C-alpha cells in the first residue's frame, strides 16, 4: 500500500529533526536535498532545512528557508520561533519581541516562545507582561513546572518592584513636605501670615484650607494666590474642608507621585487590564483614573465577578502611578 503523503512528510521530517538533534545535521541535509522534488514548497520541509542551516551556522540560509516556510504557511510556529530566537541572539531585541508577540496570539500556545518572551520582559523590568506570558502557558498546561517556577519568580519581582517604587516615591514626598517655609520664595507679608498660623513646613501648609488662610489678618487674595501658585508648582494643594485622610495619603489620591492632574485625567482604557477587570470597570462606569481612585476596595469588591485577583491588579496598577484607592469608611 502506498503511504499517504502527509504521513510520509511527517515521518521524514521527524527523522530529519532527530538527526539534527543528535549532531548529524549534514546527513539530515543530504537526506532533505533528495526529498526536494517531492516535498519542496511544504512549510515543514523548509523549516527543517532552515534548522539544519542554523546548526551549521549558516544563518542567512536559515532565514531564507524559514521565510519560504512562512510564505507557504504564514502562521508556521516553529519557523517564527527560530527567527525570533535568532533575532535575539543577534541583539535585535525589538525584532525578537515582535515575532514572539506574534506567536503569543496563536493557539495552541507555543511554550518555548512564551517562556522566552516572559524572560525578555523580566529583563526589561516589565514584570506584569512576564506574568501574563507564564499564565498563558499554565492556562493551557496547568502542570507545566517550568512555567509555574518562572511565574512564581516574576510575581515576587512584580510585588517587590511596586513596593520599592511606592516606598521611594513616598520617601520623596516626605522630604518635600518637610521643606521649611523659610526656604521658600515668598513675600514678607505671606511669610509673616504663615508664621502667625504656626506653619513651619510645607507639610503644615497643605493641612490648611483656603478659609483658614483667609481668616488670618493681612493675608489677602494676592498672598493667597501666591501661596497656591507656589504649592501648585510643587504638585501640591491646600486641604479641602472636612478632609480626614492623612496629608500624604491625600496627595497620593489626588495627584499621584507627581501631583499632576493629567494622570488622573487619563482614561482607564489607556491601560492594559485582564478581561475580567476590564469588564468590571466598564460595569462600574469608571471612565478615568480619577473615577477609579474615588472608589474604595469595598465598593469594587461589591461588583459582580470582581474578586481579590482583580483588586490586586487594580492596586498594582495604581501603585505604579503612585496612586491609591479611597480608604473604606469605618
Q: What is the 3-state secondary structure (H, E, C) of 135-157?
A: HHHHHHCCCCHHHHHHHHHHHHH
Q: What is the DSSP secondary structure assignment for residue 23, as one 8-state letter?
A: T
Sole residue written with cell 488670618: 216
In order along the chain (330 residues), what is the average pLDDT of each group of 10 residues? 58 88 88 88 91 88 93 92 88 88 86 89 85 88 87 75 51 70 82 87 84 86 87 73 43 41 74 82 84 83 80 80 66
Fold assignment, 5-119: 1.25.40
- What's the confidence (pLDDT) of residue 172? 57
Please tell me the CATH superfamily of domain 249-320, with its number.
5' to 3' exonuclease, C-terminal subdomain (1.10.150.20)
Class of domain 178-243 as given by CATH: mainly alpha
- What's the confidence (pLDDT) of residue 107? 81
- What's the confidence (pLDDT) of residue 98? 92
State how far the Cα of 36 lies from the Cα of 14, in Å rounded to an integer.
16
- What's the confidence (pLDDT) of residue 173? 64
Q: Whole-structure pTM over 0.85, yes or no?
A: no
SS3 of 215-258: the string is CCCCCCHHHHHHHHHHHHHCCCCCCCCCCCCCHHHHHHHHHHHH
> Sign of the CA dihedral 189, 203, 197, 214?
positive
178-243 and 249-320 share one fold: yes
Q: What share of the chain is helix, strand, coil (3-state, %, to 5)?
A: 70, 0, 30
Give me 15's grid cell. 527523522
The structural domains of the chain, with segments of one domain joined by +, span: 5-119, 178-243, 249-320
- What's the confidence (pLDDT) of residue 49? 92
On whether the CB atoms of residues 299 and 291 are closer than 8 A, the answer is no
- The alpha carbon torsion through 106, 107, 111, 113 (nearest 10 deg) reads -10
pLDDT digits (tens, 9 = 90+) for 99-113: 999 998 888 888 888
- What's the confidence (pLDDT) of residue 167? 52
Amino acid at each position: 500500500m502506498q503511504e499517504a503523503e502527509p504521513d510520509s512528510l511527517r515521518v521524514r521530517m521527524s527523522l530529519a529533526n532527530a538527526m539534527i538533534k543528535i549532531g548529524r545535521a549534514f546527513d539530515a541535509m543530504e537526506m532533505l536535498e533528495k526529498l526536494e522534488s517531492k516535498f519542496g514548497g511544504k512549510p515543514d520541509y523548509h523549516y527543517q532545512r532552515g534548522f539544519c542551516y542554523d546548526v551549521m551556522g549558516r544563518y542567512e540560509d536559515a532565514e531564507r528557508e524559514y521565510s519560504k516556510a512562512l510564505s507557504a504557511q504564514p502562521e508556521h510556529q516553529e519557523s517564527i520561533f527560530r527567527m525570533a530566537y535568532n533575532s535575539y541572539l543577534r541583539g535585535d531585541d525589538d525584532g525578537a519581541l515582535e515575532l514572539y508577540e506574534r506567536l503569543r496570539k496563536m493557539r495552541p500556545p507555543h511554550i518555548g516562545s512564551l517562556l522566552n518572551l516572559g524572560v525578555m520582559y523580566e529583563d526589561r523590568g516589565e514584570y506584569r507582561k512576564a506574568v501574563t506570558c507564564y499564565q498563558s502557558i499554565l492556562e493551557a498546561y496547568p502542570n507545566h513546572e517550568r512555567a509555574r517556577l518562572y511565574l512564581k519568580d516574576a510575581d515576587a519581582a512584580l510585588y517587590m518592584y511596586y513596593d520599592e517604587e511606592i516606598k521611594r516615591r513616598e520617601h520623596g514626598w516626605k522630604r518635600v513636605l518637610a521643606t521649611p517655609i523659610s526656604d521658600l520664595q515668598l513675600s514678607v507679608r505671606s511669610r509673616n501670615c504663615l508664621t502667625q498660623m504656626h506653619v513651619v513646613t510645607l507639610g503644615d501648609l497643605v493641612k490648611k484650607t483656603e478659609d483658614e488662610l483667609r481668616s488670618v489678618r493681612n493675608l489677602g487674595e494676592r498672598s493667597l494666590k501666591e501661596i497656591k501658585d507656589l504649592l501648585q508648582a510643587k504638585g501640591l494643594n491646600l486641604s479641602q474642608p472636612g478632609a480626614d485622610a492623612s496629608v500624604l495619603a491625600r496627595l497620593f489620591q489626588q495627584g499621584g507621585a507627581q501631583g499632576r492632574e493629567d494622570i488622573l485625567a487619563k482614561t482607564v482604557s489607556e491601560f492594559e487590564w485582564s478581561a475580567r477587570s476590564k469588564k468590571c470597570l466598564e460595569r462600574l462606569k469608571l471612565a478615568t483614573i480619577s473615577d477609579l481612585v474615588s472608589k474604595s476596595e469595598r465598593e469594587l469588591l461589591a461588583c459582580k465577578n470582581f474578586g481579590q485577583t482583580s483588586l490586586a491588579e487594580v492596586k498594582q496598577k495604581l501603585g505604579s502611578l503612585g496612586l491609591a484607592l479611597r480608604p473604606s469608611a469605618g
